[in-house]
Amino acid sequence: MLPNERFPKLPHALIVLGVLCLSVGSYLGLFVAPPEHYMGDVQRIMYVHVPTAWNALLAMTFAFAAAIVSLFKADWKWDARMEAGIEVGVLLAFLLCCQGAIWAKPTWGVWWDWDPRLTTTAVLLVAFAGILALRHFVDDPVRRAAWSAVATIIAYVDVPIVYYSVRWWNSLHQLQSSPATVSSQFYLPLRLNAFGVLFLMSGFIMLRARIASRRIATELAPPPQDLLGELA
Amino acid sequence: MINALHKELLLQWRTRAQAIAVFVFGATSLLLFSFAIGPSAALRQYAGGFLWLGLLLSSTLTLSESFHAEMENRALEGLLLLPVSARVLYYGKALANTIQLVLLGIALVPVMVVLYDAGTTRIPTIVLIILLGSAGISAPGTLYSAMTSQARAKQTLLPLLLFPLIVPVLLASVKATSLAILGDPMGQGRSWIALLTAFNGIYWSLCGLLFDRVVED
């Protein structure tokens, strides 16, 4: 019933590991890596921004996969995992939008731009926040599981369509860099932070899934015996 | 499927007073949008956007009502007991919602032309865009309406779930409509219509597949 109860301390270990990676990576990114030639120190936000972006997408992909499994396999574990994935994904997408705005103001001169990646992230954020609201407003656990899985699948399929439609509409965002085009001084802190956020995210999802499955367990539990006696 | 569609259309015909109220609501929102911009030539430039926003806001009214009859006296359970798949019910309802939105959209076009001075000779193109855009709103809208009509806070939930999803439909419809009104020297309208068609293809099949899971208990 309860996920990863075999390793009860695993999420905590992952969170500690994630904080360690993030500390070392951010130290390297803030103090050791040289400032970028054109953008200067502003570019250092990339060391958290890019890992957040990767992991936000990863968390939502995890939620999508969990939605498919929970729709076809009657197992509450996957419903709890989906809820955890959506919630952590929404949190990361929100952080992503904030970091993007902080970076965009000094670089582009505006807080927000209607660039495909930005707009798609914002659309994803509201779409998945809507699913969390849906889960909140449906009391029957069976319906809640089926409906939020359906809504997650529908919202996730929308992502590439939103991306391409906004891309045709307008574009300004930086092209992606790859390790081949970036010096090791830049990508070492980036990688460390990426793994840091990944560990943190996995730990959070596991803990959140535990909370969710415990709530489902109480919802599905038969009413206490004394209550049944009173009714009879 | 024809029977399901017939049932929906009959229901809509019998509640036509509501359709008229929704039209008045759409026309009112078109009127209000012009106050937001002020009297200027810009109104004509944004006419397509306003038309679609008006239609989108009105659609939440028609969609949220579309499962109203089924919720009374638990009629949905009775319908599901019929020896047809739930998918048929979904397609009947989604088609009926599309027809209702198309009629509403066509009725709103003259209002737009008069208020925003957005006359155009490309009437068939506009009708095609309204058809594709309405279908794009109705396919996921009908599915979400089936969920939210049984949930708490349904008036808030339906737009909350539907609006982010149909960003591509809104974008493509607005662009294509604006191009049809303002002229399309680069021939871009076609690719927006292609995008609308692709969105419809994906969501009409995906939502039909998933509808069983929404109504079964």
Q: Encode pLDDT of B111-140 as tens digits.
A: 888 888 877 778 888 899 999 999 999 999
Q: A-chain residues within 8 Å CB-CB of B204?
A: none
Question: What mean pLDDT is reported for chain B?
Answer: 86
The number of distinct structural domains making up chain A is: 1
B215 chain-A contacts, CB cut-off 8 A: none
Return the DSSP state at A30: I
In a domain, A136, yes or no: yes
Lowest mean pLDDT among A105-109, A193-197, B202-206: A105-109
Nearest to A94 by CA among A64, A48, A126: A126
| Whether residue B54 has pLDDT greater than 90 | yes
Residues B154-176, mean pLDDT to the nearest whole number:
90
- Greater pLDDT, A191 or A230: A191
How far apart CA B133 and CA A102 sit, in angstroms, is: 36
DSSP letter (8 states) at residue A43: G
From the list A50, A51, A49, A53, the residue with the least C-alpha distance to A102 is A49
* Residue numbers of the domain that contains A31: 10-172+187-219
Residue B92 CA, chain-centre distance (Å), reads 15
Residue B22 makes CB contacts below 8 A (sequence gap 6+) with B58, B61, B62, B104
- Residue A127 pLDDT more than 90? yes
Q: Say yes or no: B208 contacts chain A, CB-CB below 8 A.
A: no
Q: Which residue has 């068939």 as its token pair?
A: B124
What pTM value is reported for the model?
Answer: 0.82
Chain B residues closer than 8 Å to A137 by CB: 151-153, 157
Average pLDDT over every residue of A1-11: 67
Kindly state whether residue A177 falls inside one of the protein's structural domains: no
pLDDT (0 to 100) of residue A179:
58
pLDDT at A3 over 50: no
Whether B198 contacts chain A with CB within 8 A? yes
CA-based nearest distance A171→chain B, Å: 14
DSSP class of residue A111?
A: S
CA distance B106 to chain A (A): 25
Nearest to B152 among A137, A157, A165 (CB): A137
Which residue of A139, A154, A164 is in closest CB contact with B206?
A154
- The answer to the question of residue A230 being in a domain is no
pLDDT of residue A175: 54
pLDDT at A181: 61
Angle at B22 between CA B18 and CA B23, to 5 degrees: 115
Q: Is the pLDDT of residue B63 over 50?
A: yes
A179 in a structural domain? no
| C-beta atoms of B147 and A133 within 8 A | no
B157, B151 in Cβ contact below 8 A? Answer: yes
A151 vs B161, B168, B198: nearest CB: B161
Residues of chain B numbered 139-178 and touching chain A (CB < 8 Å): 140, 143-144, 147-148, 150-153, 156-157, 160-161, 163-165, 167-168, 171-172, 175
Would you say residue A53 lies in a domain?
yes
| Cα Rg of chain A (Å, integer) | 21
How confident is the model at residue A38, as a pLDDT?
65
Select from B143, B134, B135 the least CA-distant residue to B162: B143
A17 in Cβ contact with A199 (< 8 Å): yes
Closest to A44 (Cα-Cα) out of A54, A28, A32, A29 = A29
Amino acid, res. A109: G
Q: Locate the chain B residue with the closest alpha carbon to A139.
A: B151
Task: Give CA–CA dist B51/B37, Å, rounded.
Answer: 14
ipTM for the predicted complex comes to 0.81
Say what the pLDDT of residue A104 is: 83
Q: Is the dihedral of CA B117, B121, B125, B127 positive or negative?
A: positive
Eight-class DSSP state of A44: G
Minimal-distance CA residue of chain B relative to A119: B167
CA dist B108 and B26 (Å) reads 7
- The per-residue pLDDT for A177 is 59
A40: three-class secondary structure by DSSP:
strand
Instruction: Please provide the average confidence, as pLDDT, over all residues in chain A.
Output: 83
**Residue A1 placed within a domain:** no
Hey, how many other C-beta atoms are within 10 angstroms of the C-beta on A91?
17
Report the CATH number at residue A79.
1.20.120
Whether residue A53 is predicted with pLDDT greater than 50 in this model: the reply is yes
Q: With cut-offs at 50, 70 and 90, classify the pLDDT of residue A151.
A: very high
- Mean pLDDT, range A27-35, rounded to an integer: 78
What are the φ and ψ backbone dihedral angles of A219, each rounded to 5 degrees?
A: -65, -35
Residues B139 and B94: beta-carbon distance below 8 Å: yes
Option in A137, A142, A161 nearest B151 (CB): A137
